[in-house]
């Protein structure tokens, strides 16, 4: 029987900044870190973003691993089932990516180091692992195997859970009975037990109904169209989204959909409708800095720094206010909530280490978060806290994230069929006829 060739994965900076525990995720295989990666990670250690946190945490982990060892030797990654780790420092010059590609870059030094390892230890099957697509292409151009970092990545994004299903009911009398009783045992409609909090458009040849499966009562219940702080749903999907956000038994909600489907507006309106059930309403969006510069580079105090990033949230709040006249108490209440910080727009970086109790927390543009960031936010939840994530998984602004690896997709895929979780994917645009036309034809 031929001996299995030991695989060695060389990690680049993008993998470390995406997952600071990535070195532990390669089973029995060995992991190598080029010295240029350590130098590049060092430049990211200052700041309040998740990238900065991951850089610091990786350095701490590496320090613990190498406490009694020299990193130029292969050291154990804890346990027989794990491989070994080494920091690579040599470039033998047989292939110089800096000369080939015409520029001196960290990426090119990483390529040189990986190729040197392959040449000096030919028994190893060396593979570069990077979330940088262009670096993978460059590696293959130099005859070096390269692949994406797969941990936390959704395998089949086209079949990601949508939270809703259209069902044809063979007997219209069942739908009549649902209208009469308001809820029915699931066995009266389905042969198989539905996923927790799954929404349905039930149709027969004569009638139809909106419903969802309540995992607590194990009944299929009718979903009624409701108004939340002056905002009415315009289609079945929006009705489902509002029901999910306002369902007291559900503590975690995800709402996905393209621009103009009403994700943020519905979440905010429903949060305002439930303001008496929580002490505060928190609104947040990931801050994606320009040119890798932290918001600290911007002028003014923290409020002035984050306001440009948070303007879409203020726009939605303004639209809700516009549903009322200046004399209406609902409009005045919004101003009062903002003034007293009962409705508070915050940067996500400032919640790390906090315990969020008795709040309803809306995180907009959640597709720009990593799985680790999503986990960090959810683990902040204390008693009587509800968290709503909204976003478009196909519109990613954060480097090295995509539709399959972003935190929002990861969350929907991993946590479905839990009693306290509900998800709905919005597909129909409702912003305006013009916006719909652009989305469809351009």
The CATH number of 157-441 is which of 2.40.50.140, 2.130.10.10, 3.40.50.300, 3.30.70.1880? 3.40.50.300
- Confidence (pTM): 0.84
Contact present, 342 and 281 (Cβ < 8 Å): yes
pLDDT of the residue at 195:
95
* Integer Cα distance of 286 and 396 in angstroms: 11
The CATH number of 7-147 is which of 1.10.10.10, 3.40.50.1010, 3.90.850.10, 3.20.20.210? 3.40.50.1010
pLDDT of the residue at 299:
52
Query: Tens-digit pLDDT profile for the chain (442 aa)?
Result: 455 567 999 999 999 999 999 999 998 899 999 999 999 999 999 887 778 889 999 999 999 888 877 888 888 887 667 789 999 998 887 888 999 999 999 999 999 999 999 999 988 999 999 999 999 999 999 999 999 998 888 888 999 999 999 999 988 999 999 999 999 999 999 989 999 999 999 999 999 999 999 999 999 999 999 999 999 999 999 999 999 999 999 999 999 998 889 999 999 999 999 999 999 999 988 875 544 445 554 455 555 556 666 777 888 888 888 888 888 888 889 888 888 888 888 877 777 778 889 999 999 999 999 898 899 899 989 999 999 999 999 999 887 889 999 999 999 999 999 999 999 999 887 777 787 777 777 7
CA 167 to chain centre: 29
DSSP 228: B
**Ordered strands of the 252-257 beta sheet:** 343-345, 280-284, 359-363, 386-391, 252-257, 421-426
Signed CA dihedral, 169, 170, 176, 180: sign only: negative
Q: Residue 310 contacts by C-beta under 8 Å, 6 or more apart in sequence?
A: 283, 285, 345
Task: Answer left, alpha or beta for residue 68, where phi above 0 means left and psi between -120 and 50 means alpha.
Answer: alpha
How many CB atoms within 10 Å of residue 99? 12
> What residue segments make up the domains of the chain, in order of their start?
7-147, 157-441
* Integer Cα distance of 118 and 121 in angstroms: 5
* Structural element, H or E, at residue 41: helix 35-42
| Alpha-carbon dihedral angle through residues 7, 8, 10, 15, given to the nearest 10 degrees | 60
Do the two domains 7-147 and 157-441 of this chain adopt the same fold? yes
Strand partners, 381: 356
């Amino acid at each position: 029987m031929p001996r299995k060739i030991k695989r060695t994965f060389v990690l680049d900076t993008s993998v470390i900044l995406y997952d600071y525990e990535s070195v532990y995720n390669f089973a029995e295989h060995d992991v190598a870190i080029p010295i240029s990666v350590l130098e590049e990670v060092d430049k990211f250690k200052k700041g309040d973003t998740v990238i900065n946190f991951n850089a610091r945490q990786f350095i701490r982990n590496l320090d613990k691993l190498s406490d009694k060892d020299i990193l130029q030797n292969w050291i154990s990654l804890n346990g027989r089932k794990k491989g070994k780790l080494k920091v690579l420092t040599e470039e033998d010059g047989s292939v110089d990516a800096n000369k080939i590609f015409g520029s001196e870059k960290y990426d090119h030094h990483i390529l040189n180091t990986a190729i040197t390892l392959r040449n000096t230890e030919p028994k190893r099957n060396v593979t570069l692992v990077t979330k940088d697509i262009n670096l993978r292409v460059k590696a293959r151009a130099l005859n070096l195997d390269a692949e994406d970092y797969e941990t936390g990545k959704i395998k089949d994004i086209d079949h990601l859970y949508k939270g809703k299903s259209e069902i044809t009911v063979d007997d219209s009398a069942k739908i009549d009975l649902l209208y009469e009783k308001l809820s029915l045992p699931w066995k009266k409609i389905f042969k198989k037990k539905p996923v927790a909090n799954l929404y349905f458009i039930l149709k027969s040849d004569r009638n139809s109904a909106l419903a969802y499966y309540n995992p607590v009562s194990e009944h299929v219940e009718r979903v009624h169209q409701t108004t939340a702080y002056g905002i009415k749903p315009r289609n079945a999907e929006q009705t489902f989204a509002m029901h999910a956000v306002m369902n007291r038994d559900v503590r975690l909600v995800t709402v996905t959909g393209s621009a103009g489907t009403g994700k943020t507006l519905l979440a905010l309106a429903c949060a305002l409708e439930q303001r008496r059930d929580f002490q505060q309403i928190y609104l947040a969006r990931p801050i994606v800095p320009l040119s890798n510069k932290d918001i600290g580079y911007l002028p003014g105090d923290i409020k002035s720094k984050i306001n440009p990033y948070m303007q879409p949230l203020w726009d939605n709040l303004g639209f809700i206010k516009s549903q009322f006249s200046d004399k209406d108490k609902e409009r005045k209440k919004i101003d009062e909530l903002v003034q007293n910080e009962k409705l508070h727009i915050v940067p996500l970086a400032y919640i790390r280490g906090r315990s969020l109790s008795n709040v309803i927390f809306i995180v907009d543009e959640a597709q720009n978060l990593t799985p680790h960031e999503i986990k960090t936010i959810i683990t902040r939840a204390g008693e009587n806290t509800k968290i709503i994530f909204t976003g478009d998984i196909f519109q990613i602004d954060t480097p090295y994230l995509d539709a399959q690896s972003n935190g929002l997709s990861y969350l929907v895929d991993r946590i479905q069929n839990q009693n306290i979780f509900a998800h709905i994917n919005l597909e129909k645009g409702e912003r305006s006829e013009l916006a719909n036309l652009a989305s469809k034809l351009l």
